[in-house]
Amino acid sequence: MEPTLTAHSLRVRPNLFDLVGLVILMGLGVAMATVGRHMLVPLSPATAQTIHLDPSWLPGYALRTTFRMFAALLASLAFTFTYAVWAAKSRRAGQILIPVLDILQSVPILGFLTFTVVFFLGLFPGQMMGAELAAIFTIFTSQAWNMAFSMYQSLRTVPADLEEAARCFGLTAWQRFWRLEVPFAIPSLVWNAMISMSGGWFMVVYSETITVGSTDIALPGIGSYVGTAIAHRDLLAIGYAIVTMLIVILAYDQLLFRPLVAWSARFSVEDTQGEAAPDPWVLALLRRTSVLRRISDALGHALTSIGWLRIGRAPSDIGPSHVSGRVLDIAWWACLGLCVVIAGEKVAGYAAAHFTVSQVLHVAGLGGLTLARVLVTLLVASLIWVPVGIWLGLDARRARRAQFVAQFMAAFPANLFFPLFVLFIVRFNLNSNIWLTPLMLLGTQWYILFNIVAGASSYPTDLLEAARNFQVRGTLWWMRVMLPGIVPFFITGAITASGGAWNAAIATEMASWGSTTLRAQGLGAYIAQATIDGATDRVGLGMVVMSMFVLLFNRLVWRPLANYAARHFTFN
């Protein structure tokens, strides 16, 4: 009977669900091929400037915008698995890479978009590909930093007992990374990928409308459609764009992120199983297929076998170093110090030739005002979304129901609220320095919410059950059970939210609607006005001052808190 059973098991008969899945895959393939064909056409004035507000053009625009966002997401994923892993694995590299990441996520990309656009257009002169890559890179800058910080924090907070188990089993560095560290990071990474996709919508308007000198390029997409609608004050067209965004977010939420969240739940650090959540319809469809399930299983086994390759050395094979770590540290810090001295000399020489001390102090004072807005934004967002995120994350059903709503609200471009705020402030003669601050909150609060939901969702069920058995309630439950368990996730969310707030300052401290422009005193408004005036020296001064604020605050506040959380608030 053995040969008969084996032969029977090898027979694969396609069924109706295979047909449905194949139709979906073919549709995605045709859509990608269509978008790819448009990227290879020459860059002509007709294709570079014409954006139609007729809603019949929106499906094609939505397809191209979605392709750019997912291309940027793939680039962000590659960046995360290289840059963040290197920073987490190498102490010396982390001393450079993490401060650089702090600057990259905080300094407004809008301040130096011109240089990046010129670079990509120069790579493909006269081709649409150059403009497309420039747009993808701009979206990438709104996605990559959040995912990188999530991976970095996860790799530094792997439970010590799991690390010890990996050493006892003799896993090599390659095996430990793919069999322990990546699975541990997956739940947080999936949630941060969702917020990164939503954050990408904020940059869509800026990424799809490119201006270089006298050349204006409007790439077909939802972002350029919204920009054109705002320029024409067409509220009906903006409504069409919002509905299209809703449909696009619903589509990729159902087809990608909802299955990913369900799949990532298997990597939660729990000793006991919580309530089983029903599978999303995409996973249910895949499990009912025959051919597609065999193909997916084969791919899964192939990837798993790659993770088990014995690449690198096991802990027992690593001998003592022949070079003192202290000597290497001294050499490393000497090199860093030399680089800092050289860079500081260049910056000081340029500043002395172009700015007075009073100008620098004035810009530093503006940076202090923006820092105050960032701190107020973080405080308000934390007070609102930490309890809400915990409430959502502790219940799988609530988390699933809120997932789409949170994605859509996070994706809603903040600049669409500018008309409401401008009219409201003008109507009641309010102080712009205070009432423009909520615009900063709109774009940054979701980083905290998504990270808190990820932390609460991965909280060990046995610890919650123990707290219930001991009747731990009220303030004691919050202070001794729940909040300590989500501290690493909150710090990751707060770091990325503060970076997003600094980045958004250039757009939120100066809001316009038609001929009415409101400004709040701050570093963002200073950089925005200098950009409008074409004063590159003032733009550079503003960005350097902003970088100094970010570096000092992260070094004095966020990094010590992150290190403390890694030592005291991991599940061991």
Q: Which two tokens stand for residue 121?
A: 């257009």
Are residue 304 and residue 403 in the same domain, yes or no? no
Indicate the pairing of strand 215-218 with strand 510-513: unpaired
Give the model confidence (pLDDT) of 168-221 as tens digits: 888 888 889 998 999 999 988 998 898 888 878 877 877 887 765 556 778 888
Least confident of 66-75, 309-318, 398-407: 309-318
Instruction: Quote the crossing angle between the two packed helices 483-508 and 357-393, to the nearest 10°.
Output: 140
Considering the domain boundaries, does residue 242 fall inside one?
A: yes
Q: Which of 310, 329, 344 is the last residue of a domain?
A: 310
Asked if residue 186 is part of any domain, the answer here is: yes
According to DSSP, residue 55 is labeled: G
3-state DSSP assignment of residue 535:
coil
Is-contact 220 60, C-beta < 8 A?
yes
Are 459 and 561 found together in one domain?
yes
Would you say residue 9 has pLDDT above 60?
A: no
Give pLDDT, residue 364: 93
Same domain, 279 and 392: no
Mean pLDDT computed over every residue of the chain: 81
Residue with tokens 């001064």: 541
Q: Is residue 335 part of a domain?
A: no
- Assign 10 a pLDDT band (cuts: 50, 70, 90): very low
CA distance 505 to 498: 11
Q: Contact at 8 Å (CB) between 151 and 81? A: yes
Residue 418: which pLDDT band, with cuts at 50, 70 and 90? low
Most confident of 168-182, 258-272, 522-536, 557-571: 168-182
pLDDT at 212: 59
Amino acid 304: pLDDT: 83
Domain residues for 124? 15-310
Would you say residue 153 lies in a domain?
yes
Choice between 23 and 362, residue whose per-residue pLDDT is larger: 362
**Tens digit of pLDDT for each residue in 297-349?**
888 888 888 888 888 777 665 555 545 567 777 877 788 788 878 887 887 78
Statement to judge: residues 279 and 385 lie in one domain: no
Region of 170 (left: φ > 0; alpha: ψ -120 to 50; beta: rest) is left
Q: What are the structure tokens assigned to 119, written together?
A: 């670079």
On whether both 502 and 431 belong to a single domain, the answer is yes
Average pLDDT over residues 375-380: 92
Confidence of residue 95 (pLDDT cuts 50, 70, 90): confident
Question: Which distant-in-sequence residues (6+ apart) come within 8 Å of 108 by Cβ?
Answer: 502, 503, 504, 505, 506, 507, 524, 527, 543, 546
| 3-class state of residue 511 by DSSP | strand
On whether both 215 and 267 belong to a single domain, the answer is yes
pTM surpassing 0.75?
yes
CATH number of the domain bearing residue 20: 1.10.3720.10
- Per-residue pLDDT tens for 458-483? 888 888 889 889 888 888 999 888 99
d(C-alpha 138, C-alpha 69), whole Å: 10
- What local confidence, expressed as pLDDT, does residue 277 receive? 61
Smallest CA-to-CA distance from 442 within 201, 224, 225, 227 is with 201
- For residue 2, is it within any domain? no
Alpha helices per DSSP H over 429-535: 432-435, 437-457, 461-469, 474-477, 483-508, 523-533
Same domain, 180 and 106: yes
Instruction: Return the top range by mean pLDDT from 284-293, 453-462, 482-491.
Output: 482-491
Same domain? For 96 and 237 the reply is yes
Same domain, 383 and 299: no
* Among candidate residues 116, 178, 123, the one with its CA nearest the CA of residue 141: 116
Same-domain check for residues 290 and 387: no
pLDDT at site 79: 95
> Rounded to whole angstroms, how far apart are CA atoms 488 and 499?
17
Domain membership flag for residue 103: yes
pLDDT tens digits, residue range 546-571? 888 888 888 889 888 888 887 887 76
- Statement to judge: residues 233 and 359 lie in one domain: no
- What's the pLDDT at 122? 81
Closest residue by Cα to residue 447 from 377, 525, 371: 377
Backbone phi, psi, residue 209, to 5° = -120, 105
| 286 and 375 together in one domain | no
CB-count burial class (<10 Å; 0-12, 13-18, 19+) for 206 = buried
Identify whether 31 is part of a domain: yes
Does 434 or 275 have the greater pLDDT score? 434
Q: Is the dihedral of CA 50, 54, 60, 66 positive or negative?
A: positive
Residue 129, classed as helix, strand or coil, is helix
Of 101-105, 512-516, 536-540, least confident by mean pLDDT is 512-516
Answer whether residue 525 is part of any domain.
yes
Residues 116, 122: Cα–Cα separation, whole Å: 10
Helix (H) or strand (E) holding 217: strand 215-218
pLDDT confidence of residue 380: 92
What are the tens digits of pLDDT across the range 103-126? 777 666 665 666 677 788 888 887
Which of 310, 340, 365 delimits the end of a domain?
A: 310
- Number of domains within the chain: 2
Is the pLDDT confidence value at 545 over 60?
Answer: yes
What CA–CA distance (Å, rounded) separates 534 from 36? Answer: 35
Q: What is the 3-state secondary structure (H, E, C) of 356-389?
A: CHHHHHHHHHHHHHHHHHHHHHHHHHHHHHHHHH
Listed residue (542, 552, 511) closest to 111, CA to CA: 542
d(CA 78, CA 88): 15
Contact criterion met (CB below 8 Å) for 108 and 524: yes
Residues in the chain, total: 572
Work out the pLDDT band at 4, boundaries 50, 70, 90. Answer: very low
